């Protein structure tokens, strides 16, 4: 049985998170609602801290909170979630590849627009900025 008694600040520090993040993860159901002390403070266990560390690591890999919930639900069901984690990582890689390609296309459009604007007159008072309007 895990020892209880860490305040939210202590648990957050031990997990490398902020108190706000711990409250969000609790509100989203990723971490069980903490028991309360007689004075109303949330009290966390070492097991809670381990779970918070797992969540922090999953977030550092770019997994969304819903993805993390899915992994935790599978694990709580008694099945190792490795296949699901592989699928989630593949999905994140695809998302990142798409974002990188979109950013590269935007960069190219900006560079092309900037190049076309070189030495071009600014336009007249009937336009806000012909460089953007003509892009």
What tokens appear for 131 in the block? Answer: 């460089």
pLDDT (tens digit per residue) in 66-101:
999 999 999 999 989 999 999 999 999 999 999 999
Residue 123's pLDDT is 67
CATH number of 39's domain:
1.10.1660.10
Considering the entire predicted model, what is its pTM? Answer: 0.78
Q: Are the C-beta atoms of 11 and 44 separated by less than 8 Å?
A: yes
Final residue in a domain of this structure, among 11, 36, 60: 60
Alpha-carbon gap, residue 107 to 92, rounded angstroms: 22
The answer to whether residues 4 and 69 belong to one domain is no
- The per-residue pLDDT for range 95-121, each reduced to its tens digit, is 999 999 999 999 999 999 999 888 877
Please give the pLDDT value at position 133.
80
Domain residues for the domain of 117 are 64-135
Interacting residues of 21 by C-beta distance below 8 A, sequence separation 6+: 12, 56
**75 and 56, same structural domain?**
no
Reported confidence tier of residue 4, pLDDT bands at 50, 70, 90: low
């Amino acid at each position: 049985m895990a020892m209880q008694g860490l305040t939210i600040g202590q648990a957050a520090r031990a997990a490398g998170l902020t108190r706000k993040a711990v409250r969000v993860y609790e509100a989203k159901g990723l971490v069980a609602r903490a028991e309360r002390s007689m004075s109303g403070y949330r009290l966390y266990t070492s097991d809670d801290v381990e779970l918070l560390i797992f969540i922090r690591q999953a977030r550092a890999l770019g997994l969304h909170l819903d993805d993390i919930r899915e992994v935790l639900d599978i694990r709580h069901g008694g099945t190792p979630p490795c296949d699901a984690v592989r699928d989630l990582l593949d999905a994140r890689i695809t998302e990142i590849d798409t974002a990188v390609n979109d950013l590269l296309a935007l960069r190219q459009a900006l560079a092309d627009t900037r190049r076309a604007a070189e030495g071009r007159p600014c336009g007249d008072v009937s336009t806000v900025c012909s460089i953007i309007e003509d892009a």
